[in-house]
Amino acid sequence: MFSTFFSFEIKTWLRAPMPWIFMFVFGMLAFSGTISDDVQIGGSYGNVLKNAPFVAENWYGVFSILGLLLITAFLNSAALRDFENNTAQIVFASPIKKAGYYFGHFFGALLIAMIPMFGVSLGMWAGVVANSIFEWLPPERYGPFELAGHINAFLVFVIPNMIFSGGILYTVAILTRSTTQSFIAGVVLLVAYLIAGNLLKDIHNEAFAAMIDPLGVRAFSILTKYWTVDDKNHLSLGLTNPVMFANRLLWMCVGLAVLVAGYFRFTFSEKNKAGKLVKAGEVKAEILGIQQLGVLPKVAPIRGAAMAWAQLRSQFRTDFMGVVKSLPFIILSIVGLLNTLPSFFTATQSYGTHNLPVTYDIVDLIRGTFFLFVYAIMAYFTGALIWKERNAKVNEIYDALPTSNWTGYLAKFATIIAIIFILESITIGAGVFAQMMNGYHRFELGVYIRELLVIDLLGFAFLTVLFMLVHTLSPNMYLGFFLSIMLVAVNAFVWSPLNINSNMVKFGGIPGYTFSDFYQYAPYAQGLAWFNIYWLLFSGLLAVATICFWVRGKESGLEKRLSIGWQEWKNYRVAGIGLLAIWLVTAGFVFYNTKVLNKKPSGDEQEKRTARYEKDYKHYENAPQPRIYDVKYDIRIFPENRKVEADGQYWVRNKHDRPIDTLLVSTPQQNLHFSLKNERLSLLLNDSAVSVQLYRIQPALAPGDSLLLKFSTVYHPEGFENELSISQIVQNGTFFNNTEISPNFGYQPGGELEDKNKRRELGLPEKSRRPALNPADTLHRMNSYLTNDADWVQVETTISTSADQIAIAPGSLLREWTEGNRHFYHYKLDHKSWNFYSFLSAHYEVAREEKGGINYEVYYHADHAANVPRMMRSMQKSIEYYTQHFGPYYHKQCRIIEFPRVASFAQAFPGTMPYSESIGFIENYQAEKDDIDMVFYVVAHEMGHQYWAHQASGADMQGAEMTTETFAQYSALMVMEHEYGHDIMRKFLEYEVDRYLRDRGRERLKELPLAKCEGQGYIHYRKGSVVMYYLKEMIGEDQVNLALRNYLERFRYADAPFPTSLDVVNEFAAKTPDSLKYIIKDLFWDITLFDNRTQSAGSRDLGNGKYEVTIQVKCRKLKADELGKETEVPLDDWIEIGAFARPEGDKKYGKTLYRQRVKITQKDNTFTFTVDGKPEKAGIDPFSLLIDREPKDNLKKVE
């Protein structure tokens, strides 16, 4: 009996198009992903082979989420076929066994639902084969076909997910006999997946998140997060992994349990309709029927505006109440809100600290957690409303009523918009409530309203209009849904590969924008307004089309529908033509502004230009050019119309031993007017497409001679752009660098294309990121990695802005005055510095303190005062530590200057540190929760740069960032340790190790040891912190500081040749005792990893509050190559062991009961020690001093 239904199901489906269509679709996606870098499935895989087993398995994971819809479709049909075709009575009347019927259909459909998944393997395989013929991508991007990845993907994702979700969906479908409810079940499954993702945000929930993810995709990413490129190229995760196995087993069992439970509930009998009816309405048998009484009042229908308005209201009420009372709406809203609201209370934490629940972040949170549901509700109900009358079979009555199409259209449109409006208002209310609960009272309702109820609601409205048109034209509701989703997907993905990047073309496209407390929306307002008007008018046109083609009656042929549409058009001609005219005028205006006034090259074009710059000018790379040594500026900022005029003068000198007769100038990019003047210069070439000017110097500049070059730059925006290109110059909160208004001399390798594959595509040779570390390479030691056309420079600036703003330039303020409605400032550097500094202007509050001859200043937005005192303290503590250990500070001021959240970083310039609104200023440090004080840390880091970068910076070769970023990290760690204590550092180090381990798996080229890093943040920041801290633990803080001081004394403000990482590593080595010398190699010259694990931890109560703790630990030491391939090396290392008490209150860490460094020489070790107090956890390397492949297993609960 089972086999009858099983094979029936299979045979039916094999003849049906659906499995094959979906296999084709999946195959095409996988194929495109395999042959191109533009199509990404589940993110970018960096340097990993395109057909690596890891990629295949990941894709299967992603597709098995998409597959949820498929499973729903297949199993729903299998479960409901007999009910929908009304064959149930016939089938059930025949002598069949329940089990055979129930399970036969299930497993048959399940097997069929796997067919589309094969598309992933087929598509990938076809992609590899096709690429071997056409070579779209270089052949070395592909490896051999590894079957194991595909088999594991089936075992890990496809089969368990199908059984899990299939079991549930099939059971829901067959018991409720309702398509709607099984689709709702599908949505609920999706939500469970999202919630698991939310929990993952706090990394300490990872083990839990890995188990509760029913689809295994998150579990997969958690388990593989530390995989290196080499791992990803060769390994795949199978069921042999115990966590994966447990997860899969758990959720398969859940699916099967639901299936079996459903089997017992399932009966062949039809739902008792009569019984239900009596219950629902209690309508009993009728006695009287139609009465013969009286005449009906004779009221004839009327027309006119008042009637139309009444009709519109009545239709709206009916549609709106119909949606609000419907089950899918209630479920989707509740599930959506349940997914969103809790995140308001947890999402303020990130990376070990808390932020204030500022409104713009809450708004982003609503977008991130709730909009998926808004989209689902909008897409579903747009279809459901357009098909409402037809689905309810009331359409023939409706369609013969004397209403106008527009009232029906408007009622349905308004229903969707009203629903979204209400849902978003609820989330706003919840957001405000969450802010209140967090003790935050700056609610900014205006921001909520403008973001969610104006800009986003308009976007939803445009899409609703589009979906309504699609459903109106579609001959079938499901086709309507399919076409709607396809349109959205096509609109999202098609334009970029086609190199069309105009918001005029991408449906509903508006410029990106960033709200800031400084300028609200000011620089974006014009573009936002015009593009919204443009799409509003276009949507109006679509609406007119929809109204004309509004389905009325039973005609379905294209020709008939066109003729009916044409008849209707006559009613809307005036509105339609009027709208079209206004839209065309608007389109013309927008086109003029974005494509004529502010024409921008496309992304492809920009890449081609970059490549041409390299091809045409690379030969100037080592041509001698004059060096800048003195700079003066006169900068006039006009914030109200975002205009900047800058006049500058450079004193340059020929430091070479032969005359210079050619000057290669890189002009500031994107400027409107730039000019460079000196009577000895004559322009040879103006290649504005690549911002290059070439001048002859006549007579040539003799060795040792100087020249005064005057230049002027004017930035003056006109109209509005497709996307705002200059967000640095705004109405309030201007922040730009000298490089953005001043020319550079000589060839600028920083402007070259980096991407390996793009370079190959455009015919450029392979490029190394940095010249190799070689102290003898004096050519590359001529420049620090910061600049290549200047040495230490003196800077003097006159800067003016509007009367209500403060303008800031580098150095001490010599004079400040007001002239008319302009505010003038005169600044001068106290000590020569790198030719790298910034200018700012905004409406600021200023906090000032003077201590030891140094002015400490924080310039901040009036509403952002909360963390200013801690910034002050951090600056002062930093200066205290650095002057004591590293040497004098040469500026007379330390300034922190807030800038708008268009970027979220802090940056150190000489004496000046611009700091983004969106980081330190919104932090909400909670010491009682063992937070990391990020404000304190970031300020200390930037202060560190006043030494490590601004007093000495590495030469332009490998390891350069180690001399700046790594030491700034180290300096900040020391200031923090002195402020907050030894033990709390572990939280910071844990995060650093975690980020290092994650990011090294995404390396695009090759991982390098710290001393040879090539601008790789995960090495010079993350690994750098851990390495320096471990070095400090091993040789002592004093010795590290002494080494750093010695290094600095050799290179402070020194001219070329500039230092290399070798110079400073040698200083460390000099301070390291011979017994520990091995760590210098481990830390700086190798990629060294440990695999330390505590296998068991036990304790014995000795009485008197004393406990004896015994731990068994396993240790391995590994060295990795550039791609992460590991080799085990013998152990002979000092590693800590320790034990902790249970944490108190909200604290994250318990009291340290024991901390001891031990020498480990073998893999398996047992240690016994006595502690005061009851231990909760114990283990090896408890403070994350070493880089551990899997830091989570270092500590174990004490038994």
Partner 1 sequence: MQLTIRNLSKTYSNGVKALQDINLDIPTGMYGLLGPNGAGKSTLMRTLATLQEADSGTITLGDINVLKDKDAVRRTLGYLPQEFGIYPRISAVAMLDHLATLKGIPGNHRKEVVEALLQRVNLWEHRKKSVSSYSGGMRQRFGIAQALIGDPKLIIVDEPTAGLDPGERNRFYNLLSEIGENVIVILSTHIVEDVKELCSNMAIINGGQVLYAGSPEAALLQLEGKIWEKAIAKADIDDYQSRFRVISSKLVAGKPIIHVVSEGDPGEGFRVTPAGLEDVFFSKIMAA
Contact 1013, 770 (CB under 8 A): no
Work out how close the CB of 563 gets to partner 1 at its nearest, in angstroms, rounded to a whole number.
7
Give me the DSSP letters along 462-502.
HHHHHHHHHHHH-SSHHHHHHHHHHHHHHHHHSTTTTT---
Number of residues that this document lists for the chain: 1199
Work out how close the CB of 590 gets to partner 1 at its nearest, in angstroms, rounded to a whole number.
38
Is there binding between residue 565 and partner 1 (CB under 8 A)?
A: no
**Closest to 797 (Cα-Cα) out of 748, 846, 833:** 833
Among residues 398, 591, 620, 1053, which is the contact residue for partner 1, using CB under 8 A? 398
Work out how close the CB of 550 gets to partner 1 at its nearest, in angstroms, rounded to a whole number.
13
Question: Distance (Å, rounded) from C-alpha 119 to C-alpha 1088?
Answer: 41
Q: How many of the other CB atoms lie within 10 Å of CB of 1060?
A: 26
Work out how close the CB of 304 gets to partner 1 at its nearest, in angstroms, rounded to a whole number.
9
Nearer to partner 1, 266 or 398 (CB): 398
Among residues 133, 293, 574, 776, which is the contact residue for partner 1, using CB under 8 A? 293
Work out how close the CB of 184 gets to partner 1 at its nearest, in angstroms, rounded to a whole number.
16
Token pair of 1089, please?
């990893």
Among residues 283, 305, 574, 596, which is the contact residue for partner 1, using CB under 8 A? 283
Among residues 17, 144, 275, 294, which is the contact residue for partner 1, using CB under 8 A? 294
Nearer to partner 1, 519 or 550 (CB): 550
Q: Which of residues 135-194 bind partner 1 (CB under 8 A)?
A: none
Is there binding between residue 393 and partner 1 (CB under 8 A)?
A: yes
Question: Distance (Å, rounded) from C-alpha 165 to C-alpha 186?
Answer: 8
Is there binding between residue 84 and partner 1 (CB under 8 A)?
A: no
* Backbone angles phi and psi of 645, in degrees to 5: -120, 130
Strand 353-354 and strand 349-350: pairing?
Answer: antiparallel
Work out how close the CB of 405 gets to partner 1 at its nearest, in angstroms, rounded to a whole number.
11
Nearer to partner 1, 242 or 557 (CB): 557
Beta-bridge partner residues of 784: 955
Three-class SS state of 23: helix
Beta-bridge partner residues of 1093: 1114
Work out how close the CB of 293 gets to partner 1 at its nearest, in angstroms, rounded to a whole number.
7
Q: Which of residues 402-431 bind partner 1 (CB under 8 A)?
A: 402-404
Work out how close the CB of 391 gets to partner 1 at its nearest, in angstroms, rounded to a whole number.
8
Among residues 17, 93, 264, 288, which is the contact residue for partner 1, using CB under 8 A? 288
Nearer to partner 1, 568 or 965 (CB): 568
* Backbone angles phi and psi of 63, in degrees to 5: -70, -25
Q: Which of residues 518-557 bind partner 1 (CB under 8 A)?
A: 552-555, 557
Work out how close the CB of 383 gets to partner 1 at its nearest, in angstroms, rounded to a whole number.
16
Nearer to partner 1, 312 or 938 (CB): 312
Token pair of 181, please?
């409810």
Among residues 129, 401, 927, 1076, which is the contact residue for partner 1, using CB under 8 A? 401
Q: Which of residues 295-314 bind partner 1 (CB under 8 A)?
A: 296-303, 307, 310-311, 314
Among residues 292, 768, 1075, 1104, which is the contact residue for partner 1, using CB under 8 A? 292
Is there binding between residue 289 and partner 1 (CB under 8 A)?
A: yes
Show the binding pattern over residues 351-390: x = contacts partner 1 (CB under 8 A), - = does not.
-------------------------------------x--
Nearer to partner 1, 280 or 776 (CB): 280
Q: CB-based burial of residue 1111 (10 Å sphere; 0-12 exposed, 13-18 middle, 19+ buried)?
A: buried
Is there binding between residue 275 and partner 1 (CB under 8 A)?
A: no
Question: Distance (Å, rounded) from C-alpha 190 to C-alpha 165?
Answer: 10
Q: Which residues of 653-687 are buried (b: 16+ CB within 10 A; e: fewer)?
A: bbbeeeebeebbbbbbeebeebebebeebeeeeee
- The secondary structure of residue 947, as a DSSP letter, is T
Give me the DSSP letters along 408-465.
HHHHHHHHHHHHHHHHHHHHHHHHHHHHHHTT-----HHHHIIIIIIIIHHHHHHHHH
Nearer to partner 1, 294 or 853 (CB): 294
Q: What is the dihedral of CA 280, 284, 290, 293, to 10 degrees?
A: -100
Q: Identify which range of 37-45, 64-72, 558-566, 660-668 contacts partner 1 by CB under 8 A.
A: 558-566
Q: Identify which range of 228-236, 281-289, 733-741, 949-957 contacts partner 1 by CB under 8 A.
A: 281-289
Contact 712, 674 (CB under 8 A): yes
Is the preceding omega at residue 601 within 30 degrees of 0, hence cis? no
Nearer to partner 1, 270 or 396 (CB): 396
Nearer to partner 1, 350 or 391 (CB): 391
Alpha-helical (H) ranges within 719-775 are 756-761
Is there binding between residue 776 and partner 1 (CB under 8 A)?
A: no
Q: Identify which range of 329-337, 398-406, 499-507, 767-775 contacts partner 1 by CB under 8 A.
A: 398-406
Give me the DSSP letters along 601-670.
--HHHHHHHHHHHHHHHGGGTTS---EEEEEEEEEEEEGGGTEEEEEEEEEEE--SSS-EEEEEEEPPTT
Nearer to partner 1, 389 or 1037 (CB): 389
Work out how close the CB of 544 gets to partner 1 at its nearest, in angstroms, rounded to a whole number.
18
Work out how close the CB of 186 gets to partner 1 at its nearest, in angstroms, rounded to a whole number.
22
Beta-bridge partner residues of 851: 854
Is there binding between residue 621 and partner 1 (CB under 8 A)?
A: no
Q: Identify which range of 146-154, 316-324, 788-796, 1117-1125 contacts partner 1 by CB under 8 A.
A: 316-324
SS (H, E, C) 1013-1037: CCCCHHHHHHHHHHHHHHHHHHHCH
Nearer to partner 1, 319 or 444 (CB): 319
Is there binding between residue 325 and partner 1 (CB under 8 A)?
A: yes
Contact 1138, 1156 (CB under 8 A): yes
Is there binding between residue 397 and partner 1 (CB under 8 A)?
A: yes
Work out how close the CB of 374 gets to partner 1 at its nearest, in angstroms, rounded to a whole number.
23
Q: CB-based burial of residue 374 (10 Å sphere; 0-12 exposed, 13-18 middle, 19+ buried)?
A: buried
**Closest to 923 (Cα-Cα) out of 868, 994, 973, 971:** 868
Is there binding between residue 315 and partner 1 (CB under 8 A)?
A: yes
Nearer to partner 1, 472 or 788 (CB): 472
Nearer to partner 1, 203 or 324 (CB): 324
Is there binding between residue 492 and partner 1 (CB under 8 A)?
A: no
Q: CB-based burial of residue 1057 (10 Å sphere; 0-12 exposed, 13-18 middle, 19+ buried)?
A: middle
At a CB cut-off of 8 Å and minimum separation 6, what does 368 contact? Answer: none
**Angle CA(1061)–CA(1065)–CA(1067) in degrees, nearest 5?**
120
Work out how close the CB of 311 gets to partner 1 at its nearest, in angstroms, rounded to a whole number.
5
Work out how close the CB of 301 gets to partner 1 at its nearest, in angstroms, rounded to a whole number.
3
Work out how close the CB of 397 gets to partner 1 at its nearest, in angstroms, rounded to a whole number.
6
Is there binding between residue 290 and partner 1 (CB under 8 A)?
A: yes
Q: What is the dihedral of CA 330, 332, 338, 339, to 10 degrees?
A: -170
Among residues 277, 334, 479, 486, which is the contact residue for partner 1, using CB under 8 A? 277
Question: Distance (Å, rounded) from C-alpha 1156 to C-alpha 1136?
Answer: 5
Is there binding between residue 400 and partner 1 (CB under 8 A)?
A: yes
Q: How many positions of this chain bind partner 1 (CB under 8 A)?
A: 53
Is the preceding omega at residue 1057 within 30 degrees of 0, hence cis? yes
Nearer to partner 1, 275 or 1073 (CB): 275
Site residues, partner 1 (CB under 8 A): 277, 280-283, 285-286, 288-294, 296-303, 307, 310-311, 314-315, 317-318, 321-322, 325, 388, 392-394, 396-404, 552-555, 557, 560, 563-564
